[in-house]
Structure 1
Amino acid sequence: MTHDTSGRSPAPVFSAAPARSSPSIPDTVRAVILTAAASLVGAVAWSGDPLTLPFAFAFPTLWALSPSRIVAALVSGGYFLAASRGLPQGVANYYASDLWPGLLLWFTASLGFVAVHTALWTSRPGGKRAARYGLAALLMAVPPFGIVGWAHPLTAAGALLPGWGWFGLAATAAGLVTMTTRVWPAAAIVVGGVWLWSVASWTDPSPPKGWKGVDLELGQSLGRNVRLEQHHDLIATVRRSAGEGASIVVLPESALGFWTPTVERFWRDELRGVDITVIAGSVIVDARGYDNVMLAISAVRADILYRERMPVPVSMWQPWLAWSGQGGGARAHFFANPIVELGGRRIAPLICYEQLILWPVLQSMLHAPEVIVATGNGWWTTGTSIVGIQKASVMAWARLFGVPLVTAFNL
């Protein structure tokens, strides 16, 4: 038997320090798959067809399956950016610029959605994760995050449960929360079955009797350069609609350009002898900025019917101008005039951007309107699906609450 006399300790068989682990390739692949799937869901759900909206139900599941907070951020970003993919081109069209400003605004707009869903993600399954997703959905439905709360999965309620109203909204919210739990496969089967039933029985919402929405194809000249000839053409369109039996005609956002006493006198004079009321978009300017409005015009009178609650951020609503003491920009009236009355009928008005977010329409629905009037001036959306998404959203809300719908858009 020999002994080590060198004074050195024998080499350990096992190292006490754990070996450094390299990034797991399966986790990386999983992150790529989840992000790609979320992007596909965002693109399909927000295609401009109301019947594809229920595909957004997959987003909560993909968010819940994320193995880390970073992957949850990637999943959220992929979904939002795919759903709002028309924004870069739309901004380029609006400002007659290249795509870079639009790309910057596109990514900036996604930050709120990504930040909320990233901050509230948790690795702990069960009730805590479901509650956190529910809180994220709530935050994206109301200001301040709700100002950029596009592509909200709750919009799918009308495509799944038409006519169910607030109960249908609650059931959809419960279904979305359930999609973050371990029973999501069963929930997905139920949603799929309900969706197939809805597809088979779907009918587009229609306007009330005597109401007519007029779509125009006047491009960017509408609202920016409304000449006298254009006013004459619009009045001729109104008169034709009256001859076809319409008593209320809806024209698109900004159809009348800037509203002045001269324009008011002209329209009232031209409508004499015609028993009709025109709801038309216009802009009212003062020293501090402007209001994007709907007007109600007849031969007898012309009144401001509605002031837009949420103009398009950045291009229209620029609050930093007021904060810095400057004038200009569209005013946001947030929670004002959610319902207006015309001829004894309650109207839920929605102008352009308000059709893409939740709180304006839900605030209006609290007052049990008898008709939804949705207008837009989408000339700048050429080459995108933005107007299609606006129409799909407002159609879904009209079907959910069983409210007649009148739309008027300019392209």
Structure 2
Amino acid sequence: MCRDYLRPLLLIFASIAVGVVGWSGYMLLLPVALGFPVLWSLARTRSVAALVSAGYFLAASRGLPQGVAAFYSSDIWPGLLLWLCASLSFVVVHAVLWSKNTRVRPSRYLLAAVIMAIPPFGITGWAHPVTAAGVLFPGWGWWGLGFMTAGLAGLATRIWPAVATAFAGLWLWSAAIWTDPKLPEGWRGVELELSASLGREAGLQRQRDIIATVRNAASDGARYVVLPESALGFWTPTVARLWTGALSDSNATVMAGAAVVDPRGYNNVLVAIDRKGSRILYRERMPVPGSMWQPWRFLFGESGGASVDFFANPVVPIGAGRAAPLICYEQLIVWPVLQSMLHDPDLVVAVGNGWWTEGTSIVAIQRAAATAWAKLFAKPLVIAFNT
């Protein structure tokens, strides 16, 4: 009787440990997340498989309650509710697809992995183990993704120790020779520490301060300067004229986050500005569900919230090349970056405004995920965050 309870408890605690360590924000620890398909496949009942899935996902996304509380300046209960609701899709998919038949478990897990990588379930497909492909197969591109996908299925079979041993060898080799993605020549990502005031303080002095920061970067030889999400606040004709005028004597091009208001709500965008003018360069494909994207408003005939462009503008032209932009939440899920890589961009640009994540590992996880994808496809990476 004791053994009947001990095995499930060990699997659940192990899944929690895998979620905590794998998604700690340390790049080279991402492969720890590959322990999840092993633990899921070792479950002997559907309920244990569900609890293993819940333990992994809740541990991996443990920073959400505190982050939501900071974002809304409220107590922790709304964050806890969102945390539990977000885990529901992950748990349901993995519980439904679990099978007593060990022969079909690998294909079932592979199907679950695919479902959690693409919409609609992929909208909350955080902590996807496939992200570790960038650590195990740096530079292998789509081949690396294919090997990782096959390996995930292999980890759900009886020969998982052999697959895990092979992955461990690749992991050690990668760690020994690891180098971060290179910064593209002439590009500069600007890190800001303006906390919650970024994007909310609309005064002229704030714009002038950021302009001065850009000019300093340009004076050091940067031809393309990237600013974090929401760096320019609301994008208006007045702000556009101010920035275009400020860059009239510069050869630099600025890529910066802003918000564009429309009758339905707003768009979270990246704008490109140079001495010749400005334009909206990129519209965020997947804003944060709940806090930004609020689809229920449409059902009640209300406006507000961020617009979604799901599969729009996966790459954007900038200078003589093409960039794959990833704004904040898009760095935590799978399909936006894979859609962008289908178009073979010249570089990846990852921006965010993570002031609300203080005391959590969320920003570190975003950086690690963006770096892993850039390494997998051997793309230069520019990162710009506000904290």
TM-score, normalised on structure 1?
0.93
Give how far 1:345 is off: 0.5
CA contact (8 A) 1:45 1:52 kept: yes
1:192 aligned to which of 160, 168, 182: 168
Alignment match, 1:9: none
Give the match's secondary structure for 1:337: coil
Q: 1:39: Cα distance to partner?
A: 0.4
Q: How far apart in 1 are the matches of 2:367 and 2:202?
A: 25
Shift of 1:199: 0.2
1:74 to 51, 54, 67: 51
Greater displacement, 364-373 / 227-236: 227-236
* Post-superposition CA distance 1:342-376 (Å, at most 9, x none): 11201101000000000000000000000100100
Runs of 5+ unmatched residues, structure 1: 1-23
Map residues 171-320 of structure 1 onto 2, 5 A cutoff.
171-320=147-296
User: Separation in 2 of the partners of 1:144 and 1:60?
Assistant: 21
In 2: Cα distance, 1:324 partner to 1:359 partner: 29
1:34 partner amino acid: L
User: Deviation at 1:324?
Assistant: 1.6
3-state SS of paired residue (2:349): strand
Q: Which amino acid aligns with 2:123?
A: I
| Aligned-residue CA RMSD (Å) | 0.7
The aligned amino acid for 1:87 is: L
Counterpart for residue 110 of structure 2: 134
Q: Distance in 2 between matches of 1:174 and 1:163?
A: 18
Once residues 178 and 229 of structure 2 are traced to their aligned partners in structure 1, the CA distance between those partners, rounded to angstroms, is: 28
Counterpart pick for 1:65 among 42, 51, 55: 42
Runs of 5+ unmatched residues, structure 2: none
Separation in structure 2 between the aligned mates of residue 370 and residue 123 of structure 1, nearest angstrom: 46
Summarize deviations over 1:204-249 as a string: whole Å, max 9, x none. 1122100000000000000112321111111111111111000000
TM-score, normalisation: structure 2: 0.99
Give the letter aligned to residue 257 of structure 2: G
Contact 1:27 1:67 in 2 (8 A): no
1:155 is the counterpart of 2:131? yes
CA distance in 2, matches of 1:229, 1:315: 28
Instruction: Report whether the alignment pairs 1:33 with 2:10.
Output: yes
1:396 is paired with a residue of what secondary structure? helix
Aligned counterparts, 1:334-349, within 5 A: 334-349=310-325
Q: Which has the larger radius of gyration?
A: 1
Task: Tell me the equivalent position of 2:25.
Answer: 48
Asked if structure 2 preserves the Cα contact closer than 8 Å seen for 1:295 and 1:306, the reply is yes
Give the match for residue 322 of structure 1. 298
How many residue pairs match? The answer is 387
Contact kept in structure 2, 1:305 and 1:340, CA below 8 Å:
yes
Is residue 362 of structure 2 the alignment partner of residue 386 of structure 1? yes
Helix, strand or coil at the partner of 1:207: coil
Matched, 1:120 2:133: no
Structure 1 stretches of at least 4 aligned residues deviating more than 3 Å after TM superposition: none
Partner Cα distance (1:46, 1:333) in 2: 28
Per-residue CA deviations over 1:104-150 (Å, capped at 9, x if unaligned) read 11011000000000000011112x11000000000000000000000
Distance in 2 (alpha carbons) for counterparts of 1:359 and 1:123: 30
Match of residue 347, structure 2, among 366, 371, 380: 371
